[in-house]
Structure 1
């Protein structure tokens, strides 16, 4: 029996020292590697599952042999213990909107869903009964996007006229009212609340086609800062895992990095040759999750800060990916360098969206070429291309355990895909909508997927 030499590195700990060199049988598989790592880490409770990588490529079977003289370095990462059940059917169709529904999003505690529509309204739905809680009226044109505050009581929404409205639900969550509003000079492209891990606040940011982004304090009802620097419409805004930093993308082909205490960007990231449709950060999911974790409900915000620190320490720092009409994605480490670290090529047409997995190790992208691709979140290499939709894929959502993806398409279908190495294929085709599916979201508790459609309905999909 031939043997190979390996050393192990904990990929979750920045600057981790490699282990001693082990000599193991050449046919050692991942199950046996798991046992070795648990023994090395002196795991006293139930063995913890890990995934293993060498040279940035995941080991799914046996360890590649590089010859007797060379030591194979294996980096290991803990897998999510929390497991989501695959959705299989539409359990509820929620009606009430009288025009296309452009966006839907779960609250942090997964108890409510917000939706916004071309009928000028925002609706809030109870996810236990899948019935409407309230209809929020105040917009004068199509409502394009919304976002929940982490306290599950405040929402912010933006419309085609450029109006941003902050809504507050009452203590019982049975009705809502408008707190205040503010107007950009053109339609609102994105809204995002400042994450819970940075302390109790009611600060949020909006981006607009008027070439600006704004930061607001919802409690005081005022604009804190107007962010300039773009020369065309701003397409998205994202908070960084670094408290005072946020990112914006634009049709001017640039990504601006701001310190929220300054009006002008501190860095400008250049590389794309056409406008940028969206961005995603490696910390995005853990920031949205905040103190809510299905497995660690008692740890609250302290657990969230630890999860954030781990991701911020992986891969040289917080990573950002951008999706463009030039058919490419770029990966950046924006707080370290203004130059892209990887160019992700493979789509044959415009890239509509991009999204890091909850564990930050994989990037998903969707395109006008009818394909969805997944990419290594560190090296940028393409891991798989998912084919099956027959028209543009508008967006996708990850399961909280990073093992599955759902996609929403112009072809009116929703599809569930397996992301586990060796099983990367279509799991379930989910027809049901009568027209284009514009928006999709997976609840943080893993139980439900929501889709919003041109057919005026929202569907809830469950196991």
Structure 2
């Protein structure tokens, strides 16, 4: 198994770690002697060399644009790759969503029905359902194989839909595979739907303003972040409030779980094995989730307009016991000079990346929240981030019309990915291809 090595400087103002690639001499001592910004070491220092396992597989580095696909008549606002990486879904201001085949790099289906911008697209972990949410307040379900609507739209929100989250594969109950779906809205509520019956199961009401993000965790808890400055944790069983976390001083814009990648990809891993039925899929998904949380329980990070992030401990312990005293955060992450747009855990949980309006991408330790590095290169706001499956590559999408692929050994740009002619609003990275979309109405792979 490959390992990554690093030192932890004692100075409190230093970065949290010094990466060791060749030797302590070349990677720590020589830079310290020649640079005023590198951590300093004294002859009496005792080095503790830390090691962390890395993915046993390696994702091929992205080097060039292999396809530019047109079809949308308005800017592309969101994109999401399917759990296997075989398909990509995009949502646009032209009131349509589209499904693209990543292997042939061709359009597959156009999904029509929304009466306004399609703001969010989300795949279920078995790649059997695609959900879209729009400015019209509707949530629609689709069969990605045929491109046909899977029943009538799910109606109930009085304002636009901001975020969608499917129930993780290993939690789905019943003989027929029908994962539930949580939809968050500008109207301040989250609605949980049964996708099999198209019926509303319960409403999570308690936020005093727009709910901007929703996540469905692997312990069957639902996390919501709102413009009322709070994060709420709910039981996925009955919708009861577990606790409210209210450390942020402004809107909560973004949220990520340390288990996001294994939950979104369900039973599918780098081997390409396809489960023969739903029971095997649930077993594989559960095994992957348990492996992910064996050494680190499911943790959450939230980002806000107050320029900060908070790293939170496990929220689902003690059998959903509701506590009047909310769990305190592990760390408050400061460094961004403007609003935080997006935050994402690496698939292995070792790192967290955050993007902001200050043109910066910042890296933090996933367990402690300690600062690791600033990735500088964008000249305008950074909108979205995406990690490779092996956690070795990070790609960022920006208002400056570029994507940048970052080398996490040197914390410098590995590959500049130009090609878009205007702002890049969305990016995703599941298998070995990056997909992006933006204001120029094109999808690039």
TM-score bin (small chain): 0.7 to 0.9
2:112 match: 137
Shift of 1:301: 4.7
Q: How many residues were matched structurally? A: 404
TM-score (norm 1): 0.82
User: Could you tell me the TM-score, scaled by structure 2's length?
Assistant: 0.85
1:197 and 2:167 equivalent? Answer: no
The worse-fitting range, judged by mean Cα deviation, of 177-186 and 280-289 is 177-186
Q: Does 1:306 align with 2:287?
A: yes
* Counterpart residue number, 1:260: 236
Contact persistence 1:408–1:440 (CA under 8 A):
yes
Asked if structure 2 preserves the Cα contact closer than 8 Å seen for 1:93 and 1:459, the reply is yes
Task: Find the partner of 2:253 among 273, 277, 283.
Answer: 277
Residue 406 in structure 1 maps to residue 387 in structure 2:
no
Residue 247 (str. 1) matches residue 223 (str. 2): yes
- Structure-1 separation of matches of 2:268 and 2:84: 7
Q: Distance in 2 between matches of 1:219 and 1:310?
A: 29
* 3-state DSSP of counterpart to 1:162: coil
**CA distance 1:304–1:97, change in 2 (3 Å):** same
Match of 1:212 among 189, 198, 204: 189
SS in 1 for 2:349: coil
1:262 Cα shift? Answer: 3.4
Which of these residues, 340, 344, 348, is aligned with residue 359 of structure 1?
348
Deviation, structure 1 residue 314: 3.0
Is 1:333 aligned with 2:313? Answer: yes
Residue 348 (structure 1) aligned with residue 337 (structure 2): yes
- Pairwise CA distance, 1:72: 7.6
Pick which of 273-282 and 175-184 moved more: 175-184
**CA deviation vs aligned residue, 1:317-358 (integer Å, no higher than 9, x gap):** 221100111001100014266211100111111111100000
Pick from 182, 185, 201 the counterpart of residue 154 of structure 2. 182
CA distance in 2: counterparts of 1:298 and 1:134, whole angstroms: 23
Q: Structure 2 CA distance, aligned partners of 1:292 and 1:346? A: 36
SS of the residue 1:179 aligns to: coil
Is contact 1:237–1:247 with CA below 8 Å preserved after alignment?
yes
Partner residue of 1:51?
4
Contact 1:391 1:411 in 2 (8 A): yes
CA deviations on 1:169-204 (whole Å, 9 max, x unpaired) are: 3xxx24423422123111111011111122443211
C-alpha contact (below 8 Å) 2:3/2:54 kept by paired residues? yes
Q: Is 1:102 matched up with 2:77?
A: yes
Q: For structure 1, which runs of at least 5 residues remain unmatched after alignment?
A: 1-47
Q: Which residue of 2 aligns with 1:319?
A: 299
| Correspondence for 1:297 among 241, 252, 273 | 273
Offset, 1:52: 4.3
SS at match of 1:115: strand
3-state SS of paired residue (2:263):
helix
Distance 1:414 1:50 in 2: 28
Q: Secondary structure at the match of 2:364?
A: strand
Superposed CA offset, 1:242-270 (max 9, x none): 0x211000001111000023344211011
Does the 8 Å CA contact 2:7/2:50 hold for their aligned counterparts?
yes
